[in-house]
Chains A and B, each alone.
Chain A
Amino acid sequence: MADHSLMSFSCPECGGSMVFNPTKGKLQCEYCDSLFTREEVEKFFAEKEQKIGEKDESKGWGEEEESSMRGYNCSSCGAELITDANTAVMRCPYCGNQTVAPVQFSGALRPDYVVPFAFTKKQAIEKYKGYYSGKFLLPKDFIASNQVEEIQGVYVPFWLFNGTADAEGEYEAYDKHDEGNYEITEYYKVDRKGRIGFTNVPTDASVRMADDLMDSIEPYKFDKLEKFTTAYLPGFMAEKFDVKLEDELDRAGSRVKESVKKKLHNTIKHSGFSTKHEKIDVNFNDTKYALLPVWLLTTNWNGKKWTFAMNGQTGKFIGDLPVSKLKLTLISVATFIASFIIFSMIWSVS
């Protein structure tokens, strides 16, 4: 477990270094195997450092937190990463280059919530292998050049939107049936007005992270949302958000609108309808800044970047794979010949 060799928390029992064990959801000592919840470890360190008073509830980082954190910048893609003091970041999870360098940790916004990792690196590697195995169209040398071991656990910054949507619609619906030699169409005026509530609609707050890739590993189950503490960081890294909340309102809003539209249309139990008027107002009244767990692998192959992502909570794995032109041509030629023969036979019979 080379990736877990450097950790910031020392074990309250023996002083050995501790790693976050995703299967047990606890921090585990690498030497004496003692398990501690984050609360226990935090309490231990709080007492040790004679922390006075309650933790600062404001959006800023605590002083101890800041001193236990490190920043890293990628000179290739500009990604700003943070992790705890002893987790070494060698490779940028976003562009795959070994161009990350430590920088002074600077606060930025402290996340409100975090969804913890539920899969280990080993499990993520297995998922990836299962993902590409049996894919005939995959170029052979792609897998060979792929450094599966470089898969990294990243907390990707997300905005989570809560709110309501007020919708109204007027539709003209119709039903058709036959009566002897006549076709009868009956028309109805359908009116709908209603309100619907949404909670935790996620949009990623990272410029470098492809929106469609993050959308594709959804959904996350937000009942597992935990208050953020730095105890979740050892062994993983987090990206600082660089997409402002305001810039994601439209994206979250259009997703909500699409859902509401579907809901409205599903209530029209006729064979068809046309929309006369439709209005959907989305109001977001609460937002959260959360870190969501993603196992990320970025490889450069044939001059192109290929990124694969796994939902660190549910294990859903996704990523576009390259297609071998030769193999696709072979399949096409074979299909053409086969279908030509079959159609010829059908033609000659009829």
Chain B
Amino acid sequence: MFMVLICAIVVTVLVAWLCYKSMKPVSNASSADNYVEKDIIFSINTENFLRKEKKRKKDDD
């Protein structure tokens, strides 16, 4: 019963929040993706293998 109540509250808050956000679409632009003139040209572009780690998997409870 208590779990049911918690789940219902979580769903309600989520739905209300999404409804509210759908009315507030204005936000700051975080990137300049639309204004890339030339794509990135790499002078260094390397990958080197470092090490390997082996870990015993946890037994299932």
Contacts and interface: CB of A to CB of B under 8 A. Distances in A.
Interface of B is mostly: mixed
B17 to A, nearest CB: 10
Interface in A127-163: 135, 137-138, 162
Chain A at the B interface: SS class: mixed
Interface stretch (A114-122, A228-236, A339-347): A339-347
B19 A331 contact: yes
Contacts of A252: 32
A193 B42 CA distance: 5
B49 A186 contact: yes
Contacts of A192: 42, 44-45
A190 B46 contact: yes
Interface stretch (A50-58, A66-74, A197-205): A197-205
Nearest to A179: B54
Nearest to A186: B52
A183 interface: yes
Given A184-B52, A189-B47, A340-B4, A212 B27 contact: yes
Contacts of B53: 184-187
A52 to B, nearest CB: 39
A216 B29 CA distance: 7
A285 B31 CA distance: 19
Interface residues of B, number: 49
Contacts of A173: 47
Contacts of B49: 186-188
Interface string A299-327: 00000000000000000001111110000
A100 interface: no
Interface residues of A, number: 66
Given A197-B38, A201-B35, A172 B16 contact: no
A92 B48 CA distance: 61
Contacts of B16: 328, 331-332, 335
Contacts of A344: 4
Contact of A323 (B20, B27, B37): B20
A125 B10 CA distance: 39
A318 B29 CA distance: 14
A168 B44 contact: yes
A215 B29 contact: yes
Contacts of B26: 210, 212-213, 216, 318-320
A18 B60 CA distance: 80
Contacts of A262: 31, 33
Nearest to A185: B53
Best-surrounded residue of B9, B33, B41, B52 (most CB of chain A within 10 A): B33
B52 A185 contact: yes
Interface of B: 1, 3-5, 7-9, 11-12, 15-16, 19-20, 22-57
User: What are the 3 closest A-B residue pairs judged by CB atoms, nearest first?
Assistant: A215-B29, A193-B44, A197-B37
28 contacts: A138-B23, A162-B37, A167-B40, A179-B54, A181-B56, A181-B57, A188-B47, A190-B47, A191-B44, A193-B43, A194-B40, A196-B38, A197-B36, A201-B35, A202-B35, A211-B28, A212-B28, A213-B26, A218-B29, A255-B32, A259-B32, A259-B36, A263-B40, A267-B42, A320-B25, A320-B26, A332-B15, A336-B11
